[in-house]
Amino acid sequence: MDIIKYREDAESFLYKVDKEYYLHFSGQKDSINISGIYDEYKYLFSRKNIEYIKNIRDKSAGEEKKKAAYLLKFCTEGYIEGQVKDLIDKIAEDEAQAKINIEGRKVPFRYSEILLANEPDKVKRDRIEDKRSKKIAESFNDTLYTYWDTLHRQAVDLGFSSYSELFSYLKEEDFYSLQAEMERLLNETQDLYEKHFTGLLERELGILLKDSRRSDFAFVKRAKKYDRFFKKDSLIPIFTGTLFEMGIDISRYGNIHLDVEERENKSPRAFCCTPKVPEEIYLVIMPGGGQDDYEAMLHEGGHSLHFGSTSSKLDFEYRYLGDNALTEGYAFCMEQLMQNRQWLVDFLKMSPDEAREFVYFSNLIKLWFCRRYAGKLKYELILHDDKPVNGKESSYKEILSAVNLMEYTRENYLKDVDDGFYCTNYIRAWIFQSQLKEYIYRKFGYNWYKKKKTGFFLREFWSYGQKYSASEVLSQLDFKRLDISYLINSLIDEIRSF
């Protein structure tokens, strides 16, 4: 095996896959051809290559060992995903073509999520959610079952007891220790969450938390009453203006493309695509109106700036692979401006009292998400254990409903799952961001976004791509480890201070 050629071909493979994902999920292409790309590069993902790269990792030290570990994860994931390549295409295309009937009009399934978030009438909102759930059960779940069942069998075929054990090995993470940390977050925020989220729903919707559904959260998060501050035509100027204050002129990058055009089949979930790091980066958002757009722009902007600032001189493994909790952490670093009172006053022109109220609201939303991901990890450890996939709908509904104290539907038990325990990346990223925020506040002040020194600091760390893990970056900032206390204390303090 020629390891140099392997890296070159792996980069070419990722370019084609990411470009295909971009075109499809941005709504520019109805079909998707991941299967054809896997067929073209099938030679990259073999048992023989897995063993060869594993042998390099086991016999190496230092950076060579780290790069081999990154490659091993890439090769192994590619191997098992290659067994479901046709299903990947089918899942995406079925979702793109699916429609549901809303008040006599056939609406694309993806776009219905935006309609749901903007629907003020609870009866109509629940009806949209029920129709979405029915569509998932009727049109998606059989394929998703085959998809996950096949991946589970591939993990066992590779010598692991379960899909969970395989990814704990590849990511070099103890998922159960992380789950225990998140149980601590759930316990320490339980009373706070129940009290304050109950108050939020009573004020905004006139309903009790115990009577709410996840569709109610979608509408609450949409937060239409703040729309006067979060105008669509100000989205790009405020984003670029914030960066300019930090000495970052994104217009001079040339490699970061902002896709904010509204298309009915565009994914409602904002994303960043990185076909060629750092030369070709796409920041994709489907504007739904309001604060969600700004939060998404800042988050995906964080990804885009990270990969768009990565040094082209880095090895392939450090530009494309590595610990994705790091890039999620940088994304949350930018997104946390939505919880910065002074930024809201400076750029959104809120009054100090309005900014204080919005920061309270924004932190409640963040707490909801942190608790949700604690539930997702707990559920996914059950979903991906050594037992059959079927029959786990009740576990999904019970666990997710319990952490957010609102009703989740059973039908989403296979769809509301990301590959490769990506939920752990978000969890570790929130912890990383809370510690990075502590460092930035201490070094640059609460109005860090106005300091060119902050921009210089961030660009330097972004330039290393994902050479270092989130834990390694924190160690360079004199933190001993990822410490969830920073996340828990930050959430509690911000909510209680209102």
pLDDT confidence of residue 481: 95
d(CA 171, CA 180): 18
pTM passes above 0.85 = yes
pLDDT confidence of residue 287: 79
Give DSSP secondary structure letters for 169-234: HHHT--HHHHHHHHHHHHHHHHHHHHHHHHHHHHHHTS--GGG-BHHHHHHHHH-GGGTTTS-GGG
Q: Can you list the residues of the chain whose pLDDT is less than 70?
A: 288-289
pLDDT confidence of residue 270: 85
Does residue 278 have a cis peptide bond before it, meaning omega lies within 30 degrees of 0? yes
pLDDT confidence of residue 498: 84
pLDDT confidence of residue 4: 94
Residue among 76, 9, 18 at smallest CA distance from 46? 76
The three-state secondary structure class of 463 is coil
d(CA 427, CA 374): 8
pLDDT confidence of residue 1: 84
Residue among 207, 158, 195, 152 at smallest CA distance from 389? 152
